[in-house]
Structure 1
Amino acid sequence: MAKNASDRYMHYYERWASNQSSRLKAMEDLEKLQSVQLKELSDKQSTPETQLQFTIEAWLQIIECRRVLKWTFAYGYYLPSHEHAKKQFFEYLQGEAEAGLERLHHCAEEELNQFVCNTEDTPKNFSDFRKKLIGLTKVTKTYFENLVKALENDLADVSKSSTNHESLLEKR
């Protein structure tokens, strides 16, 4: 039992620490974007820096999401193991939010870097990238807002859902 408890703690702690580390790295990346890359991108795309704020907003969203995701692992650790439905719902919401965050992070880091480093991209490619990054930022924000609301309500939707399911079964 002690080994299981220790392994369980390490599982949640490592994910907590990993998201903290990713958050700090994202903060460094934002600083680099603001101090160096935004000017380069502005020059290469012939676009004023003020019209490139969507890149900063994406990184700010990434940083906030990493903060929230980090603390979801603390929440998950303290979620009672006998509440299976809540645990499944929590893990689903957390997984969806994390997947959205990873898509956003990849776009803001890898795909943006292609425009900063490459001079051969067309304005249409950059326009498509802009739409994609703005969309991913909004979608990821929504995932995390839903996750936070669910946690603030102690995953109450699970109780409602199972109550509705039970009442449907009783009617049969």
Structure 2
Amino acid sequence: MIARLLGTLLRGRRAGDQRLLCHELPVESREEALQLASSAFAAGGTIPVRYAGEGVGANVSPALAWSALPPATMELVLVMEDPDAPLRRPFVHLIAAGIDPSLNRLEDGALSALDGAPCVFGLTTFRHLGYCGPRALPGHGTHRYVFQLFALGRPSGLEQGARRDELVEALKGKLLARGTLEGLFERR
């Protein structure tokens, strides 16, 4: 009840797209575009409740696939942010670094468990490691969840528990390509 009231009161407040990591990082002159997709939802479509966060859904990370990696890619970094959160910065739902560029996909649930994950995890806004699915305030409206994939020409050097501000510095000057996938979710 209180969460719904708060969501309604903050309905017009949003962090904004300009604060997304993909917009905050300068575009490199040699940078290419990546194709990022999910079999769980269409680009710009609704993210099924299965992938929503704890207390709302099963908190399972959706399957993701990508193509068009530059041949010199040494590492992939995947970030999921919510630019519609009523905060000063987008809400970070996932930081996954050190993904092997020989992979071209992550299966359903691959980023939900810490054991056996194909990466190292940074901290989410919840200060958790791993995937934290959509879980916006009820009554706040539809939120966009932006998956951002970055191909790096040099290793990021990020370690488990890295924060978003460390990520920004670790990616500068290393980007070969980037791609995004946006999904929608509304908590009623």
Tell me if TM exceeds 0.5: no
Q: TM-score range by the shorter chain?
A: under 0.3
Instruction: Give me the TM-score of the superposition, normalised by structure 2.
Output: 0.23
**TM-score, length basis structure 1:** 0.25
Larger strand share, 1 or 2? 2
The structure richer in helix per residue is: 1
| Structure number with bigger Rg | 1
